Structure 1
């Protein structure tokens, strides 16, 4: 087997054209260097150097080896850097998931952009799905982390996301909920004052299906109950973004995270709510605890630091 030290010795001998000068450059004695050259020639089965009274020069086979040896040594020299970068979480891949509503919060694209700019050597792969699908992908190691809105993952083998073994959940932020109305709805034409939640008791609601967003769904029902009514659910949609099309079509109203207003779709007006102090839309980052890579640790650190910084700016 050819060793790197043999190739390194051969390259220096070829560059110096003299065994003694090559030995001095390598900081070794001439006899061991000569043995390295002879061993390489024996391993390859061909002479690599022509000997002359005043030095040596590569044979045709040696000239061919010289270019390859330099390339091999250059790649070998870069291994330490590659390994070090990977250990620091600066090289590799991050598989990141998100629900449709969480991606609309400006924090999510902002922190992903910050992370990519700080570690351009990391490839970020994104996937959108419902909460249950994202948690399943986390548990089966198809994803490293996911932005979700719910603490609950309703699948056949998962109950409470917070208590699911192998998962860590960080609370990133909580934002208010707003009511989405068709532009021709009477409340859409009113002043900009907040809409009391209790005033929506007689309205038909358009909601995203509970498995897609169980946390927000349950929070909304609880808030309505506290306001003295149970909402009449006229339509359900597979994604929160799809509910806006149904609202615009006049099939009902919906209550969504305030960041959904960034969609600015035609036919929908968003109004703030009152009389529902506990109705907040959380944003969580779920990630695996086991087999945590340096890249994932670096991403979580970026998320937590940016969330802390944003909270401080809002407080100021």
Structure 2
């Protein structure tokens, strides 16, 4: 079932590769050849994009990542380059076929594409990230409408001590719903993730980043480091030059692409991020409003304009 989903998105793969040599990459131009390559990927891995082809040696390269890298309980890591299926092609009867193949770990030499242009800010300083926590470097906001605010806990556990709260939404001095129906929400940095919880710090009062802070009587936000439930955290997709604008099965640009579910050829980044599910580095595992689920690199917390 998983394999058939990704093969159904093969037409999208044709636009996914940015290198000039991809115009003659037979795995991109020949769906049947790509399908034959996918069949060689062992159980436990998901075939990604045919990201490279060497015309001199007739060698094609397909990325592969751990099946389940999009599970919030055990998410993939941005430092995991995954595997590479290296395929030697040979011509037979005027048609290219797979002559031999080998599966190997991805190497630095495989990363021929330029990195995405996205700068989320400096990494956290001070106390190191605790052991067992996935380091992240993204921004988000509280989606908790509770007038008492969102609990910030000492550990990723509902039984853990409450260190403080993040302020509830603020409608703004003009009363206009500038940032949506909830008004301005408390923004913060997300520096770690562990099984349904985000480790955060540096909270800002709702509206403060937009020169419209709440009145003194409004509840204040805890600004230290602590844990909040991931299901109560929101954010926005940022334009990080991932091409095309589709979510991915793992936190890597060459991971399998997730086709949109609403019939659109590309995911609109404006106002479509519904849920933050996990994070790793500058990547976030998300669910979009069309119901699609996957990874995106470049998350921001701007509530009044898009994040282009």
In the superposition, the TM-score normalised over structure 1's length comes to 0.22
More relative contact order, 1 or 2 (CA 8 Å, 6+ apart): 1
Larger Rg: 1
In the superposition, the TM-score normalised over structure 2's length comes to 0.23
